[in-house]
Amino acid sequence: MDLMIPWLLAIMLDDIVPTGDVPMIFIFGGIMVVCSVIAIAGNIIANRMASKVARDTTGRIRYDLYSKIMHLSTSQTDEITVPSLESRLTSDTYNVHQMVGMIQRLGVRAPILLIGGIMVTVAMEPILTLVLVSVLPFITVIVFKISRSGIPLYTALQGTVDKMVRVVRENAQGIRIIKALATEEREKKRFQDVNSNVVAAEKKASFTMAATNPLMNLFLNLGLTAVILVGAFRVNAGVTEPGKIIAFMSYFTLILNAMLSITRMFVNLSKGTASAGRIGEILDMPLDDTEDDSINSRNTVTEINKDAVKENIPHIEFDHVSFSYKGVKENLTDISFSLKRGQTLGIIGATGSGKSTIIWLLLRFYNANSGTIRIDGRDIRDMSPMELREKFGVALQSDFLFMDTIRENISFGRGLSDEAIENAADIAQASSFINGYEEKYLHELTIKGSNLSGGQKQRLLIARALASNPEILVLDDSSSALDYNTDAALRKRIAMRNKENNLNTTSIIIAQRVSSIMNADLILVLDEGKIIAKGTHEELEKTCDIYREICESQLGGGFVE
């Protein structure tokens, strides 16, 4: 329709107006109005369709990206960083949304107007068309060169955005300590530095891409000037008509707008391509075998274990396990121990001695560099992540509470019954403060459970770990915020629960307090990633100087339960 209107105008001016046929003028004018209405309606419909496709496409991409992020291994997440993943999930998907929408709106319309306009003008005025077309190669070269340089510039820009997101994320999470230590000005300066880097990168990319429009306008205006001059001479010579020149100017405007649209599309294409590449890096990442649920059982010991006497097979066994996070210095060296089903392991040691790393390896967040970890005699590498982790109930030292009800934070999407949730909360010594709320288990928590005290958070996390009656219970320094009486009552209730319900749960407790682990069947004393002593509380008091010193400093040479 847009291409037809100037052609109708040329016919009306050159063929109808000179005849003075007023009815035909109105008829052609009416046809032009109808064409305009159809053009507007078609444009609206096309834009709505393009918006829908862009919305749905980006929604699918965002979901697939989020799903892939959830299946990245811990080491892959460490390598990419959480702020970078957040940036890819938000700003990068937005750039892709803009690209997909614009490609549909302009990528179809602009080429039709450009090619169609040239074809109509060739039929109408070949000489003037050649004058106009002569500038198009220069414009094509400009668009190509600038767009090609835009992709790496926008990729670098998104890298600086990642760093800014990291600073914002850290400051948002640490806002209380920032205020408590009155370091707001320091953090504002820190943000200003990273924000300046984003501005500089954005300026460089924008300035480079912004050169496209002025250069295009320059060449197009030169072409327009040449067309007007040549057209004037041709009208004066009587070889063409004024109506065709006016129509030609309208087509020139359409062609100009089409070229500008293509330029804008290439700018968005550069930005969207850079973001799509960053998204593709995540989607194309191979699944680390620590997160690959497609693993088939390769260990025939599984079938043997069903009929074997459990007492003769350790429930959990570390066999000369060593591990390094970065492959430079070993964080764990030659770790060996075994637990029978229903036993309790206590782990104690200085900060950074590798206590939590043992748990990460047992849960297979990371793979051991050497040695073997077995559950019921089966190498955990022969289990799928889902099969392995369903055995555990875990309360970690840096665990997370969500903005939801207390009930949902304990159930955690596992569909647990109210009885199981309330029983777990009672054992974890959490029912007392939960029942103090008017809504009880429907009480809403704020983000990260910030409306709870440290001890209340830990008791809810322990309740979450206990609620599913796990085969293996892991408490990683999860009672550090509890007072001694509550801690003692908690340990006593867990022991009673296992005995009364014949659960035979194997427990692993990491603690800084000797009182939390002194009744364990086996205690490991770690130092710099090595087991320097292991045994029961009584054995270690006699044989391990470091353990004895910890006992004396904490218990004063004795302890009354």
Instruction: Please give the average pLDDT of every successive group of 10 residues along the chain, which has 561 residues.
Output: 85 81 87 92 90 93 92 85 87 90 86 85 80 78 76 83 83 76 83 90 82 77 80 79 78 79 78 89 83 51 43 86 85 92 89 88 90 91 87 83 89 87 90 90 86 87 89 86 82 79 82 86 91 91 88 65 42
Is the torsion defined by CA of 288, 290, 291, 292 positive or negative?
A: positive
Residues 6+ apart with CB under 8 A from 179: none
Contact 378/318 with Cβ under 8 angstroms? no
* Nearest-5° Cα angle at 112, 104 to 139: 95
Locate 388 and state its tokens: 């392995």
Cα distance between residue 502 and residue 495, in whole Å: 10
Contact 265/74 with Cβ under 8 angstroms? no
**Does residue 372 belong to any structural domain of this protein?**
no
**Does residue 27 belong to any structural domain of this protein?**
yes
- Total domains in the chain come to 2
**Entry field: residues in the chain:** 561
pLDDT tens sequence across 526-557: 988 899 999 999 999 888 888 888 888 877 65
* 525 strand-pairing partners: 348, 533
The answer to whether residues 247 and 120 belong to one domain is yes
DSSP for 356-398 reads HHHHHHHTTSS--SEEEEEETTEEGGGS-HHHHHTTEEEE-TT
DSSP for 64-108 reads HHHHHHHTS-HHHHHHH-HHHHHHIIIIIHHHHHHHHHHHHHHHH
Q: What is the CATH number of the domain that holds 486?
A: 3.40.50.300
Other Cβ atoms less than 10 A from the Cβ of 198: the count is: 18
**Does residue 183 belong to any structural domain of this protein?**
no
Which of 480, 481, 479 has its CA nearest to residue 493?
Answer: 479
Cα distance between residue 405 and residue 129, in whole Å: 70
Cα distance between residue 465 and residue 430, in whole Å: 13
Q: Which of 255, 283, 311 is the last residue of a domain?
A: 283
Cα distance between residue 216 and residue 18, in whole Å: 38
DSSP for 99-127 reads HHHHHHHHHHHHHHHHHHHHHHHHHH-HH
Task: Report DSSP state, residue 128.
Answer: H
Instruction: Identify the pLDDT of residue 560.
Output: 41
Cα distance between residue 123 and residue 129, in whole Å: 9
The answer to whether residues 90 and 224 belong to one domain is yes
Q: How far is CA 84 from CA 159, 228, 281, in A?
A: 8, 53, 12
Cα distance between residue 277 and residue 88, in whole Å: 10
Q: Which of 267, 283, 299 is the last residue of a domain?
A: 283
**Does residue 130 belong to any structural domain of this protein?**
yes
Instruction: Identify the pLDDT of residue 307.
Output: 47
Instruction: Identify the pLDDT of residue 102.
Output: 87
**Does residue 93 belong to any structural domain of this protein?**
yes
Cα distance between residue 525 and residue 285, in whole Å: 38
The answer to whether residues 276 and 411 belong to one domain is no
The answer to whether residues 416 and 279 belong to one domain is no
Rounded (to 5) percent helix, strand, coil in the chain? 65, 10, 25
* Domain range for 411: 392-469+471-504
Other Cβ atoms less than 10 A from the Cβ of 419: the count is: 8
pTM: 0.69
The answer to whether residues 264 and 398 belong to one domain is no
Cα distance between residue 360 and residue 388, in whole Å: 12
Instruction: Identify the pLDDT of residue 496.
Output: 82
Q: What are the E-state strand segments in 128-203?
A: none
Q: What is the CATH number of the domain that holds 51?
A: 1.20.1560.10
The answer to whether residues 273 and 399 belong to one domain is no
**Does residue 561 belong to any structural domain of this protein?**
no
Q: Which of 283, 317, 338 is the last residue of a domain?
A: 283
Locate 222 and state its tokens: 């030169």
Q: How far is CA 80 from CA 74, 285, 363, 559, in A?
A: 10, 11, 21, 47
Locate 402 and state its tokens: 């969500």
pLDDT tens sequence across 149-180: 777 888 888 888 888 888 887 787 777 777 77
**Does residue 520 belong to any structural domain of this protein?**
no
Instruction: Identify the pLDDT of residue 556.
Output: 67
The answer to whether residues 101 and 231 belong to one domain is yes
Residue 530's SS3 state is strand
Contact 445/405 with Cβ under 8 angstroms? yes
The answer to whether residues 130 and 250 belong to one domain is yes
Q: How far is CA 416 from CA 13, 60, 96, 287, 360, in A?
A: 80, 31, 40, 30, 26
Instruction: Identify the pLDDT of residue 501.
Output: 63
**Does residue 427 belong to any structural domain of this protein?**
yes
> Beta strand pairing status for 530-535 and 378-379?
unpaired
